[in-house]
Amino acid sequence: MPSKNYTQDIVQKDKAHFMHPWTFFDVYKTEGALPIEKASGIHIEDTDGNKYLDAVGGLWCNHVDKDSS
């Protein structure tokens, strides 16, 4: 598992150089974004090794069946 400094470095660089859409900026200003390191199936994992259910992934990826009626 990477060190806490690794995560903080990513968060600081992210805050300095990237603006995320649909962000609550009052929280983002103090905490930054959640740095995701890897994913498998429906789960994502942050740089501290915490696992999350990617419950909003379906907003961006969905199946469209052109033959359905």
Question: Comparing C-alpha atoms, which of 4, 28, 6 is closest to residue 16?
Answer: 28
Mean pLDDT in consecutive groups of 10 residues from the start of the chain, 69 residues: 79 86 79 88 91 78 65
Q: Find where tokens 């470095």 sit.
A: 9
Question: pLDDT tens for residues 14-31?
Answer: 888 887 777 777 888 888
Residues across the chain: 69
pTM of the model: 0.61
